[in-house]
Amino acid sequence: MGAFINAGLAGYAQHYGLSARETEVLRMVLEGKDNQNIAGELSLAASTVKVHVHNILKKTAQANRQELMRDFRKMS
């Protein structure tokens, strides 16, 4: 799955205008990590990760993480 994510991540992020940090968070979401784990790995507050995930969902017009993953697979 890691190679699949790496292959499509830059194009997906560019298509939706994601920031560098949002792209980092997106990678971890696609890896199945929850906000707490993402926060720990990136040395961020969980609330900050929540905001990033919310912004990613809004920019990609997806309702939740599952739809986001489906959309990523479809576009990659």
pLDDT of 2 reads 84
Task: Give the Cα separation of 23 and 38 in Å (integer).
Answer: 12
The pTM of the whole model exceeds 0.85: yes
Task: Give the Cα separation of 3 and 61 in Å (integer).
Answer: 25
Q: Would you say 42 and 60 are in contact if contact means Cβ atoms under 8 Å apart?
A: no
pLDDT of 76 reads 81
How confident is the model over 6-60, as pLDDT tens digits? 899 999 999 999 999 999 999 999 999 999 999 999 999 999 999 999 999 999 9
